[in-house]
Amino acid sequence: MSKEFRRQEGNVEGIGFLPGLAIDTVIFGFHDSQLKVLLLEYKNTGLYALPGGFVHDDEDVNQAARRVLQSRTTLSNIYLEQFYVFGDLSRYDPTPLKAIMEARGYIPPADHWLLKRFVSVGYYALVDFTKAIPAPDEISDTCNWYSLNELPVLMQDHQQIISKALQTLQRDLDQKLIGFNLMTEEFTMGDLQSLYETILNKKLIRAAFQRKMLGLGILERIAKKWTGGAHKAPYLYRFISDKTFVENN
Amino acid sequence: MSKEFRRQEGNVEGIGFLPGLAIDTVIFGFHDSQLKVLLLEYKNTGLYALPGGFVHDDEDVNQAARRVLQSRTTLSNIYLEQFYVFGDLSRYDPTPLKAIMEARGYIPPADHWLLKRFVSVGYYALVDFTKAIPAPDEISDTCNWYSLNELPVLMQDHQQIISKALQTLQRDLDQKLIGFNLMTEEFTMGDLQSLYETILNKKLIRAAFQRKMLGLGILERIAKKWTGGAHKAPYLYRFISDKTFVENN
DNA sequence: GTTTATTGTATCAATATGTTACAATAATAA
DNA sequence: TTATTATTGTAACATATTGATACAATAAAC
């Protein structure tokens, strides 16, 4: 992906890309009982942004999202879901991208394709925090996890995009069984409940939660137990079906 | 809207429009215990398609969808929801649009903007069948309701778009209270149940359905009763809150 | 061995949903 | 006018789901 932005920047007319269409991905992780998202910080600009990209003229839009996702997490086979298109006129603001290019020592012409109006397709992804290896791209200093409660000020409407992604995740959590994509291979019931509570932003009843989760028949209890606390050791569980919930479209 | 297509057709480069981005709207109605969708039939081509359009460079994408919706139904304040972006490479097929333009006696140049690859944002709308007045646009012969069970062969991937819209409607029906947007002002409990059964494609238990609907506290029982059958006359109900569920984004 | 905190699960309560039953009644026919 | 018919509104009960409480089991620390 390090070539990707040079391919975009020097290419004033944006040849090879779908014009005016961008991808933004909200990549969720879970750690220390907190929901995290991956953010990029751009060089010399202090700007924070969601991992994003543009669509090649020879790939599906969903493919492009998957490409962006893989290049930022060094993971494949991730749960990825399209959730909304952000197409308001008001989000059109060429200043950030101009600043990014100028910080790289490139002065774009006024009609550079990247400075035109963009409509952005929002995706959210669920990854195993312990497995993802955040990888900055050529134009960003860092690619790091940020807690949802302590987000820095974000570029353009990226804050709204994250909010909408979270809403969608909350809505989907009960229907589809996607929470497991945020867990490590093995986890305790407490871990799982903590995840649900964090996502839904409300306390759940321990006994009822456990009963329901076990009742779903998608958890396997592992022989060995967790150790560490001065109390009865909890069992470890594993998600039965493959964790490879790839987008179905 | 009659000027809209001339504005698109003669405008080889598509100036004034967002390039490569289209809108497709699945407009649902309910009549005779059947779900219907509005379809256009294009002149001299035998092609059937969803009402659609393109986005002006000075309007929001959601606005464009609303504009399309209003021009096809002669209604405003309609429930409208964005549900998916169709961006696969495989859907790129310039033949239908070329055929449409040629049937109008216009031979487009090979690089006409309308013949390029398009990504389409799908919306679904719920309208009162009795109030909508289907209006064909300049390039279509007819704009009519078709039962979901008896759809003609559709252009490009429009059949898939309808399927996905229906899935989304089924998912949203219980969460949000949107079914009422498909009803007339006054309706019997039987009408409402028939709507739910048709959308969800399964029988519901009469007593339980009635109890639940009344329990929601969003129905008002009207004094007068329905007449016509050789049996106890059902009450008429009205949806309490304004039926104006406009998209919240 | 005793204490401590937490887990796994049983038990009962409260709520929601599935099922059956039946009185009420508008139109029709006798 | 009266009986018939089909359908509605709702009660009553059964079953299923979820909420709330209780308690034995136990790994670590002392």
Which tens digits make up the pLDDT trace of A142-155? 999 999 999 999 99
Spatial separation of the C-alpha atoms in residues B53 and B97, rounded to whole Å: 12
**Residues A72/A25, Cβ–Cβ less than 8 Å:** yes
CA atoms in the 13 A half-sphere facing the CB of B81: 18
Nearest nucleotide from residue A188 CA, by C1' atom = C7
**Residues B209/B193, Cβ–Cβ less than 8 Å:** yes
pLDDT for res B242: 53
Encode pLDDT of B4-50 as tens digits.
877 888 899 999 999 999 999 999 999 999 999 999 999 888 899 99
**Residues A191/A201, Cβ–Cβ less than 8 Å:** no
pLDDT for res B44: 84
- Residue A86's pLDDT band, with cuts at 50, 70 and 90, is very high
Residue with tokens 């009865």: A232
Residues with CB under 7 A from strand D: A 205-208, 211-212, 225, 227-233; B 188-190, 206-207, 210-211, 214, 229-235
Nucleotides of D under 7 A from a protein CB: 4-12, 18-22, 24-29
Encode pLDDT of B98-142 as tens digits.
999 999 899 999 999 999 999 999 999 999 999 999 999 878 889
pLDDT for res A244: 42
**Residues B158/B24, Cβ–Cβ less than 8 Å:** yes
Encode pLDDT of A178-210 as tens digits.
999 999 999 999 999 999 999 999 999 999 999
Q: Which among B57, B82, B117 has CB closest to A57? A: B117
Residues with CB under 7 A from strand C: A 188-190, 206-207, 210-211, 214, 229-235; B 205-208, 211-212, 225, 227-233
The stretch A90-107 carries a mean pLDDT of: 92
Spatial separation of the C-alpha atoms in residues B37 and B144, rounded to whole Å: 8
Q: Is the pLDDT of residue A245 over 60?
A: no
Q: Is the pLDDT of residue A35 over 60?
A: yes
CB atoms within 10 A of CB B212: 11
Question: What tokens does B154 get?
Answer: 């559709």
Angle CA A66–A67–A72, to nearest 5: 100
- Distance in angstroms: CA B209, C1' C25: 22
**Residues B55/B14, Cβ–Cβ less than 8 Å:** no
H helices of A95-205, where? Answer: 95-103, 158-175, 189-200
Spatial separation of the C-alpha atoms in residues A228 and A234, rounded to whole Å: 10
Question: What tokens does A107 get?
Answer: 């002065």
- Residue A8's pLDDT band, with cuts at 50, 70 and 90, is confident
**Residues B206/B193, Cβ–Cβ less than 8 Å:** yes
Residue nearest to nucleotide C9 (CA to C1'): A207
- Residue A70's pLDDT band, with cuts at 50, 70 and 90, is very high
User: Which chain B residues have a beta carbon less than 8 Å from that of A67?
Assistant: none
Among A65-69, B70-74, B174-178, the least confident range: B174-178
Mutate to test the interface with A, among B85, B121, B160 (most CBs of A within 10 A): B85
Q: What percent of chain A has pLDDT over 70?
A: 96
